[in-house]
Amino acid sequence: MGETMCKQKILTIQDLSCVGQCSLTVALPILSYYGFETCVLPTALLSNHTMFSSWSYLDLTKEIPNIFKEWERNHFTFDAFLLGYLGKIDLIEVAKESFEKFSNANTKIFIDPVFADNGKIYPGFNMDYILKMREILKYADFILPNVTEACFLTGMDYQDNHDFEWIKKIAHELRKYTSATIVITGIERTHTIGEFILEGNQSMELMHPLIPFKRHGTGDLFSAVFTANYLHTQDVKQASNHAAKFVADSLQVTSKEHFYGVEFEKIMSKSRKEGA
């Protein structure tokens, strides 16, 4: 992985789930591990993610204008933004405001829309949220929806059979809303999983061996590793392959008893022990 000349500063905007290995508790360690100064805008404080049967939720939207005021006063700008789970329609507007206020001439915007998976919308989301999310895709340089999110964003019906022509059609539908590089994740076939990439009008599909069990938070992990690797290499194919391998390696070392997330920390600790 080539190192960039000077350290870049990334702002990641997502919730802080105290327990659950998702959103900020994934993006923050991963982006730091890859050498970025990682700044955070926590949008909400949850006891745990919403795949548990219950959770507490403190909305932090009210504090954001105060944070922005101080950032403007200090003339902060960010070299990249990584958006994940926002959870509330107002926060999409807030994210847009942050792009306008805190970008510099070379800022890259990565949007993972995070509102659905496996054919279903997560608790608390609705079509108004999805339509608003679709509106901000135009600000992105990269969008990273999974197959379900790509379907909802385009209004296409979800199907379990992720065949190539169907995925390609969804990607081209998404192109109506953004000129970003589109990376559709979580394309599953019998023994493989992968991504469909539409960069300009060039497309490619990358498929990898499927690890035959699922854990929550793998999408957040993919997006954080993809963002970090892309910013180092400027190579979408390389970033996607690298992120897919990181997720697969993490799943492989996740113990069966650890049911609510993926133990990506084991990968980081292994490379530290090996002195990588």
Q: State the residues that interact with ligand PXL by CB under 6 A.
A: 15, 17, 22-23, 46, 49-51, 85, 114, 122, 216-217, 219-220
* Nearest to ligand PXL of 122, 158 (CB atom): 122
| Closest separation in Å from C-beta 17 to ligand PXL | 5
- Provide, rounded to whole angstroms, the least separation between the CB of residue 94 and ligand PXL: 16
Q: Which is nearer to ligand PXL, 117 or 195 (CB)?
A: 117
At closest approach, how far in Å is the CB of 77 from ligand PXL? Answer: 26
Strands 192-199, 142-143: pairing kind: unpaired
Please state the closest distance from residue 258 (CB atom) to ligand PXL, in A: 15
* Closer residue to ligand PXL, CB minimum distance, 71 or 142: 142
Cβ proximity to ligand PXL, 8 vs 23, nearer residue: 23
In DSSP terms, which residues pair with 57 in a beta bridge? 46
**In the complex, minimum distance from the CB of residue 114 to ligand PXL, in angstroms, rounded to a whole number:** 5
Q: Which two three-digit tokens encode residue 31? A: 């982006």
Closest approach, Cβ 238 to ligand PXL, in A, equals 24
Choice between 112 and 195, CB closer to ligand PXL? 112
Long-range (24+ apart) CB contacts under 8 A made by 239-247 are 240/183, 240/195, 240/197, 240/206, 241/206, 241/208, 242/1, 244/193, 244/194, 244/195, 244/206, 244/208, 245/208, 246/221, 246/222, 247/218, 247/221, 247/222
Q: Which is nearer to ligand PXL, 151 or 198 (CB)?
A: 151
Kindly report the three-state secondary structure assignment for every residue of 141-203. CEECCEHHHHHHHHCCCCCCCCCHHHHHHHHHHHCCCCCCEEEEEEEECCCEEEEEEEECCEE
